[in-house]
Amino acid sequence: MSVAADPEFEIEAFYDGDCPLCVREIALLRRWDRRGRIRFTDLADPAFDPASVGRTFDEMMDRMHGRLPSGELVEGVEVFRRLYAAVGFRWLVAVSRWPLISPLLDLFYRFFAKHRLRLTGRCRDGVCRVDSKEASEPT
């Protein structure tokens, strides 16, 4: 089914299912999503094809992505705004757009996205990276 064919759908969230913090936040959003407004797609699922989004696996892993029913992609903090709006926290989204709050959230998110592997304990021997799906698939 195409994304546009689901009129009750507000956003598709692409998340890193190997990231412990990401998994906890997605579990919370799933509990709050009583009306089924969010579609959740795990980037770590072997069936996920980043080409279906028009991005590479590495691009998808660099920052949070979401897809709207129109097919438009949104990234970073805007994805979280849309996710929280979909589960009924529109007031929080409004606050996140305030002139002083918005740039701080963007700054915090950019820092987290850049360092999330280290912050979530996913570095080994000083190396913080996730192998691309292409590199990790058997040939």
CATH number belonging to domain 3-127: 3.40.30
pLDDT digits (tens, 9 = 90+) for 101-127: 999 999 999 998 888 877 777 776 666
Instruction: Identify the pLDDT of residue 129.
Output: 60
Please state the length of the chain: 139
Q: What are the extents of the domains in the chain?
A: 3-127
Q: Is the model more confident about 132 or about 67?
A: 67
Taking the complete model, does pTM exceed 0.85, yes or no? no
Rounded mean pLDDT of the chain? 87
